[in-house]
Amino acid sequence: MLPDLQSLVPSTRRRRTLAVYLVMSLGALGIYLAIRARGEGLSAPAASTTDAPIPGEHAGQLAHVLLALAVITALARLMGGFVNRFLRQPPVIGEILAGLMLGPSLLGSVWPEGYQFLLPSDVAPFLGVISKVGVVLFMFLVGLELDPRLLRGSAHSTIAVSHASIFVPFLMGAGLALWLYPVYATSAVSFTSFSLFLGVSLSVTAFPVLARILRDRRAQRTRLGATALACAAIDDVSAWTLLAIVAGIATAQLSGAAWTVLYVALYVLVMLFAVGPLLKRFFVEREQAREGPLSHSALATVFVSLLLSAVATEAIGIHALFGAFLLGAVLPHDGRLAEQIRAKLEDVVLVLFLPSFFVFTGMRTSIDLLGDSRDWLFCLAIIGVATLGKFGGSFVAARIAGMGWRHSAALGILMNTRGLMELIVLNLGLDLGVITPTVFTMMVFMALATTFMTTPLLDLLLGRRGFADSSEAPVAARQRGGVG
């Protein structure tokens, strides 16, 4: 029986294609061998220093960085979900714990070989750069999240409560420096810089964590929830302004500190009265009227402005994160601009970049530095002073403003939440050399303790039913009434 001729056509085409491929491959190989035979007899001039190769990455370095990021992201998600589901804590607690677990305190102590493989010394600088870029982007989002209406609509009593929650822990932290400085500081740091930084670091409130706690409890629109958000917003602005001044003093000689403060003031004025209105006019006139997603040109404008603002504050002598925060604060917060920027940036920053910051913090935190009972006593003293100052200042001011004792206590507990913002402050202090690794470790424990205690204390005080009670209407109906 004769074969079907149609079935032979594909086979014939395949053989023809294979033959052409072989001819091309053998021909290319023959031509290269001929070129190589002729080129081997040529000579090149001697190498000079200007012709030295540009240093590149070592073999396997990129693979180590990618592996580290994969492990960091997975463990941070795992721990964040665990503490949120089983301990009813904000996920940031689990993410911070994941960072400490991957640091020398746990992984480096239990399995040194695994620690060296996952986070070798040549990978740490890259992880540090990634984490700092993540913090800059996160501070931009914090500024973008900071609703100016919380500041404009706040009554004088709310401002008084927020400032009391700054001044009291600030003064108590500065007083604590009288005992810490002779024991844990170095002669390279003046007492002024050390005491100012310690005071500011005890005054910080974690606005993003506080907002997340209120959203989880559906309490952000209650009178107490709105008051807490307004106080935390004012706290953020005030504390970061103070920290910028402290950073300027720490990085300059006392004779040059006044110039640094002046440069910071000029920069803030330019951002508020020139850059902010210019960007607002650009986006309102050219973007807000358009439908659909923001254009790539608009996003490029935002990111270029963000980077230039961060560069400006870095050049002044403070830190890039201040520029990122202020740029976020002066951008228009209403409409699709802020909403779409958050939608495009927030998930990447929170899921990928910030966990690397937690691990970078964990790599700088070593429990071994607290070697004796005196160190642990000082650590407990820092936690106690931080809690007493923040809670006490807020509670007393709220009671004077007319709030009931239960909600005054709840406000003090909320204002004592420090979380991620405290870690950012502490890493800045360590980078500037204002605090030593030992004080840094103590303060990390303080940040964990004050954040961890927030949820159980609120449950104990108010229960899970929320912040509003029968005597208080939602704040939406009384937004302009202040604390009352």
List pLDDT tens digits, range 397-453. Answer: 999 988 889 989 999 999 999 988 899 999 999 998 999 999 999 999 999 999 999
Q: Is the Cβ–Cβ distance between 319 and 313 less than 8 Å?
A: yes
Cβ-proximal residues to 345 (8 Å cutoff; 6+ apart), any chain:
137, 140, 141
Structure tokens at 444: 């990390």
CA distances (Å), 481 to each of 154, 474, 484, in order?
9, 12, 6
Taking only the tens place, the pLDDT of each residue in 277-327 is 998 888 766 665 666 777 888 889 999 999 999 999 888 877 888 899 999
Q: What is the mean pLDDT of residues 72-99?
A: 91
Structure tokens at 422: 């405290």
pLDDT of 388 higher than 90: yes
Q: Is the Cβ–Cβ distance between 348 and 150 less than 8 Å?
A: no
- When mean pLDDT is compared across 72-76, 123-127, 248-252, the lowest value belongs to 248-252
Question: If you average pLDDT over every residue of the chain, what do you get?
Answer: 84
**227 vs 387, higher pLDDT:** 387
On the 0-12 / 13-18 / 19+ scale of CB atoms within 10 A, 47 is exposed
SS3 category, 40: coil
User: End-to-end distance of the chain based on CA atoms, in angstroms?
Assistant: 103
What phi, psi does 8 have (nearest 5°)? -85, -15
Q: What percent of the chain has pLDDT over 90?
A: 40
Q: Is the Cβ–Cβ distance between 328 and 142 less than 8 Å?
A: yes
User: Within 13 Å, how many C-alpha atoms sit on residue 105's CB side?
Assistant: 22
pLDDT of 52 higher than 60: no
Measured distance CA(167)–CA(156) in Å, rounded = 16
Q: Please report the pLDDT score of residue 150 as a whole number.
A: 61
Nearest to 236 by CA among 265, 208, 213, 259: 208
User: What CATH number belongs to 61-479?
Assistant: 1.20.1530.20
